Amino acid sequence: MSAISFQSVSKTYPTQRGQSGAAVKALDDVSFDIQQGEFFGLLGPNGAGKTSLISILAGLSRASSGSVTVHGHNVLGDYAAARRTLGVVPQELVFDPFFSVREALRIQSGYFGIKNNDAWIDELLASLGLADKASANMRQLSGGMKRRMLVAQALVHKPQVIVLDEPTAGVDVELRQTLWQFIAKLNKQGSTVLLTTHYLEEAEALCSRIAMLKLGKVVALAQTSELLQAASSNVLRFKIDSELPAALAGKARITGRIVQFPAHNANEIEQYLAAIRQAGLEAVDVEIRKADLEDVFLEVMSGKSKAAA
Amino acid sequence: MTGMQTLLYKETLRFWKVGFQTVGAPILTAVMYMLIFGHVLEGRVLVYGTVNYTAFLVPGLVMMSVLQNAFANSSSSLIQSKIMGSLVFVLLTPLSHWHWFFAYVGAAVARGLLVGAGVFAVTVYFGRPDFVYPLWIVLFAVLGAAMLGALGVIAGLWSDKFDQMAAFQNFVIMPMTFLSGVFYSIHSLPPFWQTVSHLNPFFYMIDGFRYGFFGVSDVSPWLSLGIVSTALAVVSAIAVNMLRTGYKIRS
């Protein structure tokens, strides 16, 4: 049985009252399964439909058509069982200002009918670096602490499926590592993890399989290693002070002075360098590196990849 | 505790933590009404022919406080948590729409009765009413608080902004409570306004509640009980249906 199953999920948001324009199709016939124990990445640019899909999974939103199950439980018809199985870390940095950290976690446990949960609450707080904040009011926490508190609240009922919607936004590097170590430990113990993030190096390091969404459609779905292989295997990277000719600029990813060309073989690399020389330009700090997930992502989003689903 | 009991506990703890404003402030307001109206009208007005005005006013003020605070509890909790986004912590739980309803209305009843008891404890010093039928007192207080708690759920779900909530409170709840006979017997009104008052379900809550104190009322307490129960059932059905469909909380 799949941990999560999306079957032909579509979501259309009606036009807001007083606004003109057509209704927005946030998700268009999305279907894929996530197996139990997987660490699965859901990637896509802003507005691709990632959060819409997670909202439907979590019961925060309803699909216009299609169905979603969690461990076989339909998220609409059998929502109570589905939500007991799910632990969702929302993207928005929200908190209830009336309570302390421990009170909020006890209350969250209580919603799931769990009594005397302090041992697990203490473990969560220690693992997420919040042990010394147990008595602090939620308002006193920094942004990064509030983010980690969202993770603790999502995990308080020991869910079998953990959904993380951009959990590391605004969290510093050291604490991000702590968070990932903890989530990876839970994954090793059998929890399924569904992650959305804009930090593609995190997704590459953690996720065994990845789906990419673009304008509400799945445009890539494969093992992370397959995605990396299917994309351009190398990247030619250099710095340049002048503007590239238009023909070359169209093929390159340019960030300030840094220019990067996706290349499949040595021949392509030679051609790029020759074109630069012929244009009378000087490339400095030239290097060739292996393509990473960011390169794959950009290729898929531009429609050039062979890795599309 | 079950999930529903936890939500009820959380909603009760929420107002209790800011009790100075959620319980203390309405008691002070009621004392101000008592000082001003009681002082000005005491000795000049007899209600039902035998009841002095201050004693008449006490149950009215108590019930007004019960109703307004029951409404304020469920409505403000929902609108605040909607706007701040913290409602997501409840939305992600397995709690059903019935659990939500009983927890939010239960906490509203708790706050309404607590404030009502506080107002009574303070205002009874000015004019002591009788306790002819205590069970009617409790029955109408609970039913009235439950109806306003359910109405608060509707208002909290419907409102997108604080000013919409304020409009609901100022243009619906406030006029209906003031025009319900808190400060007067409707028999002292001109016939037209008597008719208008009879269309106001809040009038029956206060009249039935007052019957429990004096054994005298403008209309039969059974009629009041029937109308208040029906109004509660209608408002509850609307609130439960809004929660079931996730009106404005599940897109």
Is B20 a domain residue?
yes
What angle separates helix B53-84 from helix B3-17, to the nearest 10 degrees?
Answer: 110
CA–CA min distance A175, chain B (Å) = 23
Is B250 a domain residue?
no
Is B114 a domain residue?
yes
| Total tally of structural domains belonging to chain B | 1
pLDDT computed for residue A35 by the predictor: 94
The answer to whether the CB atoms of B1 and A13 lie below 8 A apart is no
pLDDT of B250 strictly over 70: yes
pLDDT of A309 strictly over 70: no
Question: H or E stretch including A261?
Answer: strand A258-263
Q: In CATH, what number does A4-228 get? A: 3.40.50.300
Could you tell me which CATH class the domain A232-290 is placed in? alpha beta
Domain hosting residue B99, numbered range: 3-245
CA A69, CA A79: separation in Å to the nearest integer? 9
Global pTM reads 0.88
CB atoms within 10 A of CB B106: 21
pLDDT computed for residue A18 by the predictor: 61
The answer to whether the CB atoms of B92 and A58 lie below 8 A apart is yes
The 10 Å CB-count burial string (b at 16+, else e) for A106-131 is bbbbbbbbbeebeebbeebbebbbbe
Q: If you average pLDDT over residues A10-36, what whole number do you get? A: 84
The answer to whether the CB atoms of A107 and B85 lie below 8 A apart is no
Q: Which residues from chain B sit within 8 angstroms of residue A88, using beta carbons?
A: 92
pLDDT computed for residue A15 by the predictor: 74
Residue B85 in contact with partner chain A when CB distance is under 8 A: yes
- Say if CB A53 and CB A4 are below 8 A apart: no
pLDDT computed for residue A86 by the predictor: 96
Q: Which residues from chain B sit within 8 angstroms of residue A103, using beta carbons?
A: 13
Q: If you average pLDDT over residues B8-14, what whole number do you get? A: 95
Residue B160 in contact with partner chain A when CB distance is under 8 A: no
pLDDT of B112 strictly over 90: yes
pLDDT greater at residue A17 or residue A149? A149
- Say if CB B166 and CB B251 are below 8 A apart: no
A305 φ, ψ (degrees, to nearest 5): -80, 155
pLDDT computed for residue A200 by the predictor: 86
Q: Tokens for B65, please give them.
A: 């406080």
| Predicted confidence band of residue A17 (pLDDT cuts 50, 70, 90) | low
At A133-180, the pLDDT tens digits run 999 999 999 888 899 999 999 999 999 999 999 888 777 888 888 889
At A285-302, the pLDDT tens digits run 898 888 778 877 887 887
pLDDT of A306 strictly over 60: no
Domain layout of chain A by residue ranges: 4-228, 232-290
CA–CA min distance A115, chain B (Å) = 7
Share of chain B above pLDDT 90, in %: 63
Q: If you average pLDDT over residues A124-137, what whole number do you get? A: 91
Q: If you average pLDDT over residues B61-67, what whole number do you get? A: 93
Number of inter-chain CB pairs under 8 A, A vs B: 82
Is B41 a domain residue?
yes
Question: H or E stretch including A28?
Answer: strand A24-34
The answer to whether the CB atoms of A111 and B5 lie below 8 A apart is no
Question: Whole-number mean pLDDT of chain A?
Answer: 88
CA B122, CA B189: separation in Å to the nearest integer? 29
Q: Tokens for A84, please give them.
A: 């007991």
pLDDT computed for residue A304 by the predictor: 65
Q: Tokens for A267, please give them.
A: 């021949």
